[in-house]
Amino acid sequence: MSILTLNCWRNAISYGLFSGDRRSVLAGGTVERVSLGGSYLIQRVPGRKNYCIESNCSDHGSAIALIIATLASPVHGVLDNADGIAGVGHRVVHGGENFHSSVVLDDQILEAIMQLQNVAPLHNASNIAGILGSRKALADIPHVAIFDTAFHLTIPEHAYIYPLPYEWYQKHGVRRYGFHGPSHLYLSRRAATLLCKPADSCNLITIHIERGVSVCAISNGYSVDTSMGMTPLEGAVMDTRSGDIDPGIISFAMQELHLSHQELERVLNQKSGISGITGRHSDRRQMLEAALDNDPKCRLALSIEAYRLKKYIGAYLAAAGPVDAIALTTGTGPCEWLSRELALSGMESFGIRLCHDKNRGASRENREAVISSDNSAIKVFVIPSNEQLVFAEDVAAILSASYNGHQQCDYSFARPDFVPLQPAL
C-alpha cells in the first residue's frame, strides 16, 4: 500500500506517491495552471521519461482526480488502481494554536482550519480545496493534515507575543506562529544525524529557501524562534513577499498611494520582495542567473536578501545558544551558491567559515554536503529538504497507531543508516 502526499497552492498542486515503507518515491509531479485554463500535469517516475498531459482543471477537485487517474493509468501510472493508496497527507499551512501535531481530518478539524483562512489567505483556502477534492475522490481512506505551524509551537511566550495590546492575542490570536515546519524538522533531524548527535542535544539554525524563505532557531531540538510571524509575510526577503518592513509604511502607502487594504495586501504578498526590487524577476532561478550576469537590479535584490539573512543568522546565534551547525536547503538550482556566499561570508568572528569551493560544488551536485571549512567552529550544511517525506511518514505512523507527535516520532531520516531519497518531485 502507498501513501499520497499533496501540497496545494492557489493555481498548482505538487504531489508525491511513496511506498508503504517510505523507502522509495514511486512517483511525483505537479499540476500547473489550476483554474486558469491551459492546465497540464507533469509526472515523474524514477527510471522513466517524464509524462506530460494537458487537461482542463477548473478547480482543485478536478486536478486531484487527474492526479489519481494518472497514478493508476495502465500506461503511465504506478498503481493497479486507486485502492493501492492507503492514506493521504495534506500540507496545511496554518493550524493556529490548536494543532501541535499531525491529525486525521474530520469535519470538525476541517472547520477549525477554515476558521484560520484570514491569517493565511493565500494558502489555507487552497489547502482546504485540496482536502475537499481528495476526500471526495478517495472517500474511504484516512486523510491527514500536516501543519506548517506545529513545529514552532514550542517557541516561548516572550518570543511569540508581539508588543501590541495583549487583548489582541487573547481575543484574536495575534502572535508569532511560524511556517515551513516540516522542512525545518527535516533539516534539523538530518543535521543532527550528520553531527552524530541526538537531536535533543543540538542547537541549530535552519534556513528554508524556496519561493518562501524562513529561518529557525533550534535549541536542544526544539524551535525557539522563527522569522515568519502570524502570517507567512513577516521575515526574510522572498520571491514576491516583502518580509520585514516598517509598519508605518502601511498607513503611509494607504494614504499617499490611495491603496485599499486588499490592494496593499496584494502588493506586499505578490509584488514585493525580489519581484518588487527587480521589477520583473519573480522566479528565483532567473534572478540568480541575472545577478551572475551583473544585472544591477538583480545584484541589488540578492544583496538585500543576503544582508537580511545575515542579520537573522546573527540574531539566532544568540537565540539558540552555542550553535552546532547551520543547515540550509539547496534552494533552486546551481546558482544558489551565490546567495549562500553573500549571506555567510564575513562571519568568521562568529565561528562561521565558509569554504567557497565546497559551496559551489554542493550546488552542482544537489546532495547533502558540508560547505564550511575544516577549521569552522560552526558546521554549515547544505541539505536538500524533503517535506513530502515528512508528510508520508506522519501518515504512515498514524495509520500504524505509532504516532505520538513529531518530537517523539521515529523518523527514518533521523537514523544514521538513512539514505536520502532520490526524489521524483
Q: Please, what are the domains in the chain?
A: 2-147+387-414 (3.30.420.40), 195-382 (3.30.420.40)
Least confident of 178-182, 331-335, 420-424: 420-424
Least confident of 313-322, 362-371, 386-395: 362-371
Distances (CA, A) of 297 to 16, 168, 240, 249, 281: 36, 39, 15, 22, 10
Compute the average pLDDT of residues 186-198: 97
Highest averaged pLDDT of the listed ranges 16-25, 82-91, 119-128: 82-91
The pLDDT-based confidence of 44 (bands split at 50, 70, 90) is very high
Q: What is the DSSP letter of 247?
A: T
Question: Residues, the chain, total?
Answer: 425
Question: Can you give the pLDDT at residue 179?
Answer: 96
Which set of grid coordinates corresponds to residue 129?
Answer: 480545496
Distance CA 272, CA 250 (A): 13
Distances (CA, A) of 109 to 9, 106, 284: 20, 5, 35
Annotate 308-323 with b (16+ C-beta within 10 A) or e (fewer). Answer: bbbebbeebbebbeeb
Which bin fits 243, alpha (ψ -120 to 50), beta or left (φ > 0)?
Answer: left
pLDDT higher for 371 or 125?
Answer: 371
Strands (E), 125-251: 143-147, 204-209, 213-219, 222-226
Distance CA 44, CA 50 (A): 5
Question: Can you give the pLDDT at residue 209?
Answer: 94
Which set of grid coordinates corresponds to residue 118?
Answer: 484570514
Supply the pTM of this predicted model. Answer: 0.95
Closest CA to 30 of 11, 46, 48: 11
List pLDDT tens digits, range 253-305: 999 999 998 999 999 999 999 999 999 876 788 899 999 999 999 999 999 99
Other C-beta atoms closer than 10 Å to the C-beta of 236 total 24
Compute the average pLDDT of residues 364-393: 93
pLDDT higher for 211 or 303?
Answer: 303
Question: Can you give the pLDDT at residue 425?
Answer: 46
Residues that are catalytic: 148
DSSP 297-365: HHHHHHHHHHHHHHHHHHHHHHHSSS--EEEE--TTSTTHHHHHHHHHTT-GGGT--B-HHHHHHHHHH
Mean of pLDDT over the chain: 93
Asked if the model's pLDDT at residue 27 lies above 90, the reply is yes
Question: Can you give the pLDDT at residue 423?
Answer: 55
Which set of grid coordinates corresponds to residue 324?
Answer: 552546532
For the chain, give the percent of residues with pLDDT over 90: 86
Distance CA 322, CA 312 (A): 15
Q: How many CA atoms lie within 13 A of 164 on its CB side?
A: 15
Question: Can you give the pLDDT at residue 330?
Answer: 85
Question: Can you give the pLDDT at residue 422?
Answer: 64
Question: Can you give the pLDDT at residue 293?
Answer: 93
H or E segment to which residue 63 belongs = helix 60-71
Burial category of 380 from C-beta neighbours within 10 Å (exposed 0-12, middle 13-18, buried 19 and up): buried
DSSP 256-291: HS---HHHHHHHHHHSSHHHHHHSS--SHHHHHHHH
Closest CA to 40 of 24, 27, 55, 62: 55
Closest CA to 208 of 332, 360, 347, 352: 332
Distances (CA, A) of 232 to 5, 7, 124, 205: 22, 16, 11, 18
Give 3-state DSSP helix, strand, coil % of the chain, rounded to 5.
Answer: 40, 20, 45
The pLDDT-based confidence of 115 (bands split at 50, 70, 90) is confident
Helix (H, G, I), strand (E, B) or coil at 399: helix
Which set of grid coordinates corresponds to residue 275?
Answer: 519581484
